[in-house]
Amino acid sequence: MSYYSAEEMKKTLKDYPKFQKRLYCRGFLITNEKQNVNLEYPFYANWKEETIGHSFYMYTHKETYAYTFEKNQVIHFIIGHAYDPYNMLVNENEILKKLASAREKSEADYWDAESNLTGVFCVGYVTENQIVYTTDCAGMQLVYHGIIGDKLYITSHAKLVADLKGLKQPEYIERLTTNKYWHYWGTWLPGDLSPFDELKRMVPNHFGSYEKKQNSIEVVRFYPTEKIVETKTQEEYENTIHELGNIMSNTMECIAKKWPEKKVSISVTGGRDSMTALSCANKVYDKLHYFSYISNVDESVDAYAAKEILAHLGLEHELYEIPENWDGYKDLPVFKKVMECNNGCIGANNTNDLKKRLYFTENPPCDMEIKSWVNEMGRGWYYNKYNKKKFPQYPYASYWRAMHKVYVGKYLIKETDNVFAEYLRKYYDKKTFDNLSWLELYFWEFAWSGGEGIFLTTEHRVSYDITIPFNNRKYVELMLTVPLEKRKVDDIPIDLITYMEPRIAETGITVHDISHTNFRAFVVRNYLEIFSKIRFGRKREKF
């Protein structure tokens, strides 16, 4: 893995101009330092500028949606796309009006209204002296923020700011991302780190508040504020399943209504998450499309299971096979550079994924993919990954480090423990963990945002845009009211599919994750138990 400087990328993209628009694709930048959005690197005239308030500029890639609404000298904004399945709102301008009215009542009302929103977005507002901003429910829209000199930068792509300001990766990031175990369990950074010291990742369920006079950022948690209580009776559980089904049915109606002129497709497999999305689309089957792809042998099982289920429902299925040989692959080395710049040069994509993304960039299967991510939050995922019945009541830095990735060697273990200790201190307290289990918050605020958020923002959305119907805070909270024992055995998706579309359940087709085996669980569990105890003299943090 290499770090590609701005000068090197200028030369590369001068020779291969067709990839200029893929650099920091669907990205954004908010700053109080004016930029020159011209024909030169890194913007290449593919970005537009809008002034928000008296002090800030909003720069967006030409394929990025951006909306503003002003009321009583407060400018509200959404970058990306959003819809509200609770009030059946699909127009961002109407959503911004509702947010503006809620804010005038109280800050709590504003965040409650924001929690109605589904989609992939950065949202916030600007007053005379302040800008407030956050990411979506699970941080699927990656947001980095920081102050460089006396200027604020909020962005989707950390290396965009690095290119503009001449930032360098610190020694820790260089050593971390070049160690031989780095590629295990995905390329994502610990804590709230970005590839550069000057920027941090925006953690979901928090907002950033920048005060112009103080020239400082305050990060404030706005959720959860109360303890999430599990259902106690079978009747309560069944009512919860029905409520989840109604919300998701509304969500699918919103999606169908939002992009009537576009080809909107559910990416389907035989897995429970995509089948949940499919079952909840039963009122709008005729308005959506359905596709699967095969880029390696393992994916064929998913694709053909999806084909059989869709045939049972009488729905047309589009199957895309990524060719082994295609003339466009001759440009793969250049595309690889662009993709690595998009993720901040913290790791190389594997060749199969690169081929898939490049092929779909020139042969997109849809305009908007409905992706079934985030639903896993309701499934007791880590208990199953490790085959563990019990975790510590409260976390500590070395435990999060051992859950994150494979760390070997004193330097990386010690420095990473420092990162996670600061992360825990900065974002969590005992009350927060008493409101919601730390394991759920690890999955929600760290693994999903820090891991899948970077993949979605910097890799998946390079080819075409993506929406995530399960990416809604109130929906996720409702899933977490289901008792853990039910979630661990996938009762939510099983019962939701049966309730919403029993014909899917009739097929009896279920695709299981072949990578999850008892042996693998044994290996990762033992790694966790052994390496979490290695702390090189550091005391275990207490809550």
3-class secondary structure, 179? coil
Q: What is the value of pTM for the model shown?
A: 0.97
The pLDDT assigned to 1 comes to 60
Domains in the chain (CATH in brackets) are: 6-175+192-221 (3.60.20.10), 234-378+443-525 (3.40.50.620)
Distance (Å, rounded) from C-alpha 456 to C-alpha 148?
26
Matching residue, tokens 């089904």: 245
- Rounded to a whole number, what is the distance in angstroms from the first to the last CA of the chain? 38
Is pLDDT above 80 for 25? Answer: yes
Is pLDDT above 80 for 298? Answer: no
* Polymer length of the chain: 543
The pLDDT assigned to 127 comes to 95
Is pLDDT above 80 for 5? Answer: yes
Tokens of 188: 């994502």
Q: Of 240-249, 344-353, 365-374, which gets the smallest average pLDDT? A: 344-353
Alpha helices in 79-216 (DSSP H): 92-105, 107-114, 158-165, 171-177
Is pLDDT above 80 for 323? Answer: yes
Is pLDDT above 70 for 319? Answer: yes
Tokens of 41: 């690197």
What integer best gives the mean pLDDT of the chain?
A: 95
Per-position DSSP letters for 225-285, written without gaps between them: -SPPPPP-SHHHHHHHHHHHHHHHHHHHHHHHHH-TTS-EEEE--SSHHHHHHHHHTTTSG
Is pLDDT above 80 for 100? Answer: yes
Split at pLDDT 50, 70, 90, the class of 511 is confident
The pLDDT assigned to 512 comes to 74
How many other CB atoms are found less than 10 A from the CB of residue 317?
18
pLDDT for 32-65, tens place per residue?
Answer: 999 999 999 999 999 999 999 889 999 999 999 9
Q: What percent of the chain has pLDDT over 70?
A: 99
The pLDDT assigned to 224 comes to 97
Mean per-residue pLDDT, 383-406: 95
Split at pLDDT 50, 70, 90, the class of 543 is confident
pLDDT for 354-366, tens place per residue?
Answer: 999 999 999 999 9
Q: Kindly state the helix (H) or strand (E) to which residue 377 belongs, with its residue range.
A: none
Is pLDDT above 90 for 370? Answer: yes
Mean per-residue pLDDT, 280-289: 98
The pLDDT assigned to 514 comes to 63
Distance (Å, rounded) from C-alpha 432 to C-alpha 436?
6
The pLDDT assigned to 349 comes to 86
The pLDDT assigned to 297 comes to 75
Split at pLDDT 50, 70, 90, the class of 273 is very high
Contact 268, 96 (CB under 8 A): no
Q: What percent of the chain has pLDDT over 90?
A: 91
Distance (Å, rounded) from C-alpha 444 to C-alpha 476?
9
Residue type, 276: T
